[in-house]
Chains A and B, each alone.
Chain A
Amino acid sequence: MRTVLGSIVFLAALPLSGCATHEIPYDRDNANIHTIGVVTPGFASKAQAFLASTVGESVGLVGGLVDLAMEEKRDGQLRHIFAEANMDGPNEFLSDLNAALQARGYAVVSVPAPSDRTSFLKSYPPAASADAYLDVAVIGYGYMAAGISDGDPYRPFVWLRGRLVRASDNSVLMQEVISLNPLNLGGWLGGGANAQITLSPDPTYRYQDFDTLMAHPQQAPQGIRQALKQSADTLANVLR
Chain B
Amino acid sequence: MSIAKNFALVCGLGLLISGLAMPAHADPESEWVPFQAEREPDSTPITDLSAKTCVEALDLTHAQQLTLDSDGEGKAMLVIDSRSPCINTAGSKALYTVAVLPASDTPYAITVASIGQNDAFLAPHALFLTSAGTVSRDLPGDAFTFRKARLSALVRSRQNERYLVVESDPASVGKDFSRVAETVYSTYLGSATIYSGSDVQRNYVFAHSGAIMVSIAPIPKN
Contacts and interface: CB of A to CB of B under 8 A. Distances in A.
B111 interface: yes
Given A30-B158, A194-B111, A146 B148 contact: no
Contact of A198 (B18, B109, B148, B219): B148
B11 A8 contact: yes
A188 B184 CA distance: 11
Given A147-B197, A200-B146, A53 B184 contact: yes
Task: Report the contact-size class of chain B (Cβ under 8 Å from the partner).
Answer: 35 or more
A146 B181 CA distance: 9
Interface string A152-182: 1101000000010000000010010000011
Given A11-B14, A59-B192, A193-B215, 8 more contacts: A1-B6, A25-B155, A53-B184, A53-B195, A57-B18, A64-B15, A192-B220, A203-B180
Interface of A: 1, 4-5, 7-8, 11-12, 14-15, 22-27, 30, 52-54, 57-61, 64-65, 68, 144-149, 151-153, 155, 163, 172, 175, 181-188, 192-201, 203, 234, 237, 240
B196 A175 contact: no
13 contacts: A1-B7, A12-B17, A25-B109, A52-B182, A53-B184, A145-B197, A146-B183, A146-B184, A183-B182, A184-B26, A184-B183, A186-B148, A194-B109
B143 A240 contact: yes
Contact of B11 (A64, A184, A197): A64
Contacts of A237: 142-143, 145
B165 interface: no
Contacts of B111: 194-195
B158 A194 contact: no
Interface string B135-170: 000000011011111101011101000000000000
